Structure 1
């Protein structure tokens, strides 16, 4: 293939783009992409070359200067982003660098903006093979898409169907100067080992391997899209949008293989990393199929999977704070509870009389036990335990509910119930509202 600016322009809907960011590491691939984009007259004034400084190589500062100089020579804007690429628990160095890079880049991409990256057909080949060796499913074997949502805009890979040799040929013809990262020659990382030692041998036997594997990836991507569409229909009949749970009786009406797709659709809905097959199996074995009278918990991937009655919950891993009792000044309408929630009093046509609220000593308490409350239009006092069970409030949520006392008498339980001793149907009333901060 003879690479040209018209080839890139044909893949971009540039009139609709207000800004185009080109991921530019200084290597030959990204340099070629940047050079091609800068050759498009109608696009050039919209381009910003972006260098992500990971701080992992001693030469990184010099690489940043090289990239800035190249952008200046091409007459386009330049931006450097510094990131912390230190691996978190469970992350490989390669994964940590990638996550840090993409997190920083996402913040740049606004509506009607695009990020262009220079991954090519051999990058796709490496990606698919690595997913195959790791036991990836259809999603992994689909490889990288040419277009995907990114930040508030879009990420494009205009060279994804271009051979690496074509990119190198263009760089030589145009006499480009690029950076050679010495870490690319080291086989510490799986991708480098595959690229340096394995693929050259495979291509001796199958020279068109990058083409054929890319074609297989496209078949997998097509199948994945179809299955995902069908799974979303199954998922919608099982998902409870009010609390992001799955209804177990509905879930178990499906075949076992369908249930697994529904679980994956659930993770996608919650914007979580796709679970490994082994983790999905454990959800069924250790939580869904656990004894009826048990309280099973499955922790992993930064979340906990729990079951309560007919619902399956996915809870983010954050230790529940030990909330201390405190006085709520009655001159303040909203308070922070210290666990990323607020409790507010708002005007209402019925509830706690405003006059009583303004003149009472208000205390907020937590983890109250053996307390009873009388409710409007109901006979006798009710234990909180019975009310919680009646309302279907899971045990872990009960621990976080604030109890509001007026002059040392229980007046309300969060925004769930108001005691009949404090309830009025006058217009001069307030109700409590409990909200999670965004």
Structure 2
């Protein structure tokens, strides 16, 4: 089968493509093949994106090369500069995260992302998964097609070897760049590529093909488990994505771990290790009833509330925030993506501030409060519990103050001090971004 026909079959149904173009051999071959395919299929729309990581002294020269090639091939190119901080997860992981964040932001409606990973990359990915002690999900390595924030991410060259890509590049006299960091064996992938895979391939010439086949078989097993467990997982997860703990208690450890993994995947979380799964269950799900357990995993954390587990993205601490809301009280933008407060015709009713009362929004309060519609006063912690507000939402609920007195919690309650008198009232509506 010709390379273009092979490519066309793997791109079936995808007519608008954003091609990740580093300027290296692999992405140069992919983009060149797509340009030739566009000549046969005029409806095919191509754009390219180049990520400037700022990690090499040659990075600007690479941009110039990519711009020159895209101009020659009549492909629009977007260059995105990113900042890579490898202190937490290492340079390789941080650079990859920065790339894919840029890809997500660059994708237009209806576009699919196309990347140039090939069979040798697949082999390296599986070996790295073995090094980490991964199970079948990790050993599935890279899927040919996957969802990326509701768009398609396609890897049409996964069945092609690097040798085949080199042969194409030479036959068509392509020009590409060589990243000097690819020679640095301190990076795990480079170590495998330079030290390990040549020895394995010398002994077993079809090693990469066999590894790719194993990855495919693992992926099939994972897909089968997904299908078998889909119904039972759906029954355990509510509309907010929280997982019911009680039914899991009667399950075997293996069954429970399989459901936990799929729940985390459904929350767009990174696949945890076996140790992390054990900690989720023992330290969070099974902690004492009056505890408020939390376990941080990367940039997310698992918390429990009322016999349900929640997967939450880490958020900034807002306890010390004091946001003035001066007259004429136009819509107030809240921090950390919490939306805005709007004074208008709808929302909860509260009294307007007096002439000497400054309005502000905060995210922390303590003490006892008497709220409208209820007899007697209660500690704020008790009020949160009665309203069924999880601890992490309490810390992100806008509290409206007049001077230093709490008047209301947006969308939840108004204190007796903030109760409207007569027909004079403000109406405050909390417009959340997710709505």
The bucket for the TM-score relative to the shorter chain is: 0.7 to 0.9
Q: 1:258 aligns with which of 255, 260, 281?
A: 255
SS at match of 1:81: strand
1:25 aligns with 2:25: no
Distance, in Å, in 2 between the alignment partners of 1:424 and 1:374 is 12
Distance, in Å, in 1 between the alignment partners of 2:262 and 2:229 is 7
**Match of 1:96?**
94
TM-aligned CA deviation for residue 62 of structure 1: 2.6
Change (3 A) 1:427 1:270: farther
Distance, in Å, in 1 between the alignment partners of 2:130 and 2:246 is 35
TM-aligned CA deviation for residue 247 of structure 1: 2.7
SS at match of 1:240: coil
Q: Please say if residues 371 and 413 of structure 2, whose CA atoms lie closer than 8 Å, have aligned partners that are also in contact.
A: no
1:193 aligns with 2:184: no
Q: Please say if residues 306 and 313 of structure 1, whose CA atoms lie closer than 8 Å, have aligned partners that are also in contact.
A: yes
Distance, in Å, in 2 between the alignment partners of 1:310 and 1:285 is 14
1:280 aligns with 2:277: yes
What is the CA RMSD across the aligned residues, in angstroms?
Answer: 3.4
Deviation digits for residues 244-293 of structure 1 (CA, Å, limit 9, x no counterpart)? 43332233243322322333233223322222222221112222222333
Change (3 A) 1:175 1:281: same
**Match of 2:411?**
415
SS at match of 1:207: coil
Change (3 A) 1:206 1:435: same
Alignment of 1:306-345 (within 5 A): 306-323=303-320, 332=329, 334-336=331-333, 338=335, 340-341=337-338, 342-345=340-343
SS at match of 1:145: coil
Distance, in Å, in 2 between the alignment partners of 1:338 and 1:49 is 34
Distance, in Å, in 2 between the alignment partners of 1:234 and 1:59 is 52
TM-aligned CA deviation for residue 418 of structure 1: 4.0
**Unaligned segments of structure 1, at least 5 residues:** none
Alignment of 1:152-163 (within 5 A): 153-163=151-161
**Match of 2:384?**
388
**Match of 1:58?**
57
Alignment of 1:114-153 (within 5 A): 114-150=112-148, 153=151
Q: Please say if residues 315 and 336 of structure 2, whose CA atoms lie closer than 8 Å, have aligned partners that are also in contact.
A: no
Q: Please say if residues 147 and 154 of structure 1, whose CA atoms lie closer than 8 Å, have aligned partners that are also in contact.
A: yes
Deviation digits for residues 27-67 of structure 1 (CA, Å, limit 9, x no counterpart)? 22222222222222144673334333223222333333333
Of structures 1 and 2, the larger Rg is shown by 1
SS at match of 1:22: strand
1:268 aligns with 2:262: no
**Unaligned segments of structure 2, at least 5 residues:** none
**Match of 1:68?**
67
Distance, in Å, in 2 between the alignment partners of 1:57 and 1:325 is 42
Deviation digits for residues 278-322 of structure 1 (CA, Å, limit 9, x no counterpart)? 222111222222233333332331233333342333343334323
TM-aligned CA deviation for residue 141 of structure 1: 0.9
Distance, in Å, in 2 between the alignment partners of 1:325 and 1:87 is 30
TM-aligned CA deviation for residue 96 of structure 1: 1.9
Distance, in Å, in 2 between the alignment partners of 1:95 and 1:197 is 21
Q: Please say if residues 83 and 100 of structure 1, whose CA atoms lie closer than 8 Å, have aligned partners that are also in contact.
A: no
1:9 aligns with 2:15: no
TM-aligned CA deviation for residue 132 of structure 1: 1.3
**Match of 2:180?**
182
Question: 106-115 vs 219-228, which deviates more?
Answer: 106-115
**Match of 2:34?**
37
SS at match of 1:266: helix
Distance, in Å, in 2 between the alignment partners of 1:181 and 1:422 is 64
TM-aligned CA deviation for residue 167 of structure 1: 2.0
Deviation digits for residues 324-377 of structure 1 (CA, Å, limit 9, x no counterpart)? 6677668537444556434445546x9647xx547785756764444242543x
TM-aligned CA deviation for residue 131 of structure 1: 0.8
SS at match of 1:252: helix
